Structure 1
Amino acid sequence: MLTLVCCTLNHIKTWLILALFYLFVFASTTQISLAAGNNAPTPAALTESELSSESAAISLLNNTAFNRQLVALATNLPVDTINSQTLFNRVALLSILNQHQALLTLLDSEKNGVSYSHYRLFHEALKQHPNAPKPVFADQLREHIQQQVSTLSNESLYQLQDALGWSVQRALDYVMNLLKQYQALPSLDEEQVISLVTNVHLYHVLKSVIPVSGEIIAAENQHRYRIEPARLVKLAGGVELTLTIVQPKQSATT
């Protein structure tokens, strides 16, 4: 009788251990599944694209369905996640979500806000004309930049010119590499989603702002300054420097 009781107890212990083991395995599997569930499917427009050339990448970047998928990815990000991002990512996410006032307020509160002048100019214009078709908005953006530049002091104009020294081509090159890297992935984790969304959107903003702002600022500099042709200056020791003399005109804003 005692032997039977001991055997029964041993069986119970064995089953309890097995039950706890399977419960642990189930919990671990569930946790992994939930973690994997945080991933988002790679946008179909990206996985189905052919990216063998720059023109093919630009075609994808201009694809309406692809850009809508990126907006959807950004929309699904929790607010806490957006607010915890670096300034670079946070500004880009607010931008793609068209949160104009939140973006402008954020830039006003940042000491380095001038470095994001491309976003500021873009959203100041977009806030005024939210439903304008692209060709119309391009004209309105140009007009807005022209108005802003014409009212700046010489120092502020220099700061703006320096802040807008972004290269659209470099942004495109970076995005192309990113697209090729993510294209083969079945899904993207949160960090990859943010990287894809922010860098593609940055390219679009730069493409809209940088060429026109560069043209306007160059014209404004010609209006404000007397710029003499560059000349070569030879210094002691054989050092050669290219010297350009720039003098403010009397009518220039100070």
Structure 2
Amino acid sequence: MTTNNQNQEAWNDESYQAWVKRFGVPTEAAQKLKAHPEKPLITLLPHFGEVAGKRIMNLMGSNGTKAVPLALLGADVSVADFSPGNKRYAMELAEASGISISYVLGDVLDLQLGDQPPFDLVFAEMGILHYFKDLGPFFQMIYSLLDEGGQCVIRDFHPVSTKLITSKGTTAKIRKHKVTGDYFDSSLYEQNVSFSKFDTETTSTVLLRKWTLGEIVTATANSGLIVSELIEEPNLSSDVFDKGIPKTFVLKAVKP
């Protein structure tokens, strides 16, 4: 199953205004993307290779801040997402950037793409997998979207940091880490919708499922994709908080 009605309604209601507060109105944000399209893709481009001329699908691609710079770099980009607010921001951002993207509004597990050709690359990144109660259909959809030899790239938060470790303290000298979670807990939990940090007035919540790294890799392999690489990343921010703890991971797979 994909996200429930609570999750969808939370994203539909307030996301556009949250992105305006985070990135500025689309005309302002577009100027920054046109000047430096590689900047918001700095963690992804090393895994994508050359993007110019590629057909790329960004699953649950939200506000288009990854899709639009990819299009500026010459890719043919589609986004799939269920939030009208996200679509509105993404399409206005694309128009202001002088490029076009395709945006499919709906459940990513039930995409209706008509006679479109398959994709060279399908990717999803940062806070996507926890919206699914079952990862199998998600990776099976990725498999169906890819051309033979096409690549899947998933970049997301590392389960060690999201499921197991609690970090407290505001400076490196007093930062402390404790094992307070249950890595194998499979229950759903409620959390404020992710854009609430940009719009503190929102009260919307979502239900999430935290997956282990083994569950993620297994679901990928069971879909028929061939896992080619699993990269565990440290904290890539400029500070030294959480040093030595995996914060994100990149999973790469290929359709045979």
**TM-score for both structures, normalised by structure 2:** 0.28
Instruction: Looking at secondary structure, tell me which structure has more helix per residue.
Output: 1
Q: Which has the higher strand share?
A: 2
Which has the higher Rg, Structure 1 or Structure 2?
A: 1
TM value normalised by structure 1: 0.29
